[in-house]
Amino acid sequence: MRKHLVLVGGGHAHMVTLENISLFVEKGYKVTVIAPSFHHYYSGMGPGMLGNTYLPEAIRFATKQVVTQQGGIFVKDRVVRIDPVKKLAFTRGGSQFAYDVLSFNAGSYVPMESVPEDRGNIYPVKPIEKLMEASEKLKILFKGKGCTVSIVGGGPSAAEVAGNVWQLARAAKGYLPKIRIFAGKKFMARFPASIRCRVFSVFRKRGIEIIEKGYVKDVTNDKITLENGEIFDTDFVFMALGVIPSSLFELSGLPMGPDKGLRVNKYLQSVAYPEIFGGGDCIYFENQPLDKVGVYAVRENPVLFHNLMASLDGTSLEPFDPGPDYLLIFNLGGKIGILKKNRFVFGGRLAFYIKDYIDRKFIRRFQNIEKIN
């Protein structure tokens, strides 16, 4: 029987593997990709899509097409649990898949347990498809009346969403909304003052309010309640709290890190099950805990591809080196960015255009795979 490689998710860390599915097939291996969508949206361009800088089709990768045209099998479903002893993956749709080698790039999500089941105009910032839906709703809302848009969260995601909501509203040529960021006790707390001051300056000029009076206790469709009891009216809410890995690792009894991500060694390999690998936001790299940013998923790409092939072939694995400090650029809307590299920080249009160039180059490389016959 042919050895079977199963990829859970078609995200950033699996891009090089997806690009080379034909090499696995040529060696006689069976490849199945299980993902919840026919397309994968590049999260680095998600806020720009919200603000209408990018059309949805410009920031996505045709996962199903790329898989099937190379001889792989694509399954539109979501893996909810695995049995690592029997080597079986179970999906929400009730299917099960036996594997010889398994790789997770299952991403992360924004916890929504604190919001009502009838979420109405309450949107998480992940998955990226939710930003696409929110953008269309907001354009209608801005045409109809003055409104308040609230962003719950105090990190970069909250900043990028707020800035791009402002951009979207100006382009809609309707009523300009009141935009509030509920940032807990300190906005952009883990970043240096050189970045915080620049974000505050941009948002102050735009009338975007940053509230640092304490954490949010309750969110409904029309109200934000702080732990101190203060209540704010709202018409639309983005939940931009920190992301967490999928619960499937806990449900599967796999070794996890403190964030409940899949615990992997220097080879991006489960510390308990050598045939299981992973990359991106869903892993906990025990050698050096990594920030949940796309740059690490991109750097993991070639190593993950090599090690998946090596695991099937029975050859040596390569260690993953996270590399030097990464370039970080925030898109604050209005073609304004803030760039940080080591201790070097600057903001303005040039920072945005550098990010735009890097992002377009990245997604174009993988979109070009769709053209392979």
Question: What integer pLDDT is reported at residue 113 of this predicted model?
Answer: 59
> Over 80: is that where the pLDDT of 31 sits?
yes
Q: What is the mean pLDDT of the chain?
A: 92
Q: Structurally, what CATH architecture does the domain formed by 122-240 represent?
A: 3-Layer(bba) Sandwich (3.50)
Q: What is the pLDDT of residues 33-48, one digit of tens each?
A: 999 999 999 989 999 9
315-333 residue pLDDT tens: 999 999 998 888 999 999 9
Write the pLDDT tens digit of every residue in 91-102.
999 999 999 999
Asked whether residue 373 carries a pLDDT value surpassing 60, the answer given is: no
Bridge partner list, 184: 214
What does 100-169 look like in DSSP terms, one character per residue? Answer: SEEEE---EE---TTS-SS-TTEEES-SHHHHHHHHHHHHHHHHH---EEEEE--SHHHHHHHHHHHHHH
Q: Is the pLDDT of residue 116 over 60?
A: no
Residue 351 pLDDT: 97
Q: Is residue 110 very low, low, confident or very high in pLDDT (cuts 50, 70, 90)? A: low
Token pair recorded at residue 257: 């890190």
Q: What percent of the chain has pLDDT over 90?
A: 75
**Is residue 111 over pLDDT 80?**
no
Q: pLDDT tens for residues 246-293?
A: 789 999 999 999 988 999 999 999 999 999 999 998 999 999 988 888
What CATH class has 4-109+243-325+357-371? Answer: alpha beta
Please report the pLDDT score of residue 144 as a whole number.
84
Query: Domain-by-domain residue ranges, the chain?
Result: 4-109+243-325+357-371, 122-240
pLDDT for residue 342 is more than 90: no
| Residues 302, 313 contacting (CB under 8 angstroms) | no
User: pLDDT band for position 372 (50/70/90)?
Assistant: low
Query: Residue 339's pLDDT is what?
Result: 96
Q: For residue 84, is the peptide bond before it cis, meaning its omega torsion is within 30 degrees of 0?
A: no
Task: Of 82, 86, 84, 83, give the one whose Cα is nearest residue 34.
Answer: 82
The H-or-E segment that residue 233 falls in is strand 231-233
CA distances in angstroms from 146 to 38, 165, 169, 172, 319, listed in the order given: 36, 14, 11, 12, 54
- Model's pTM, two decimal places? 0.90
Rounded to 5°, angle at Cα 365 from 54 and 268: 105
Average pLDDT over residues 114-124: 74
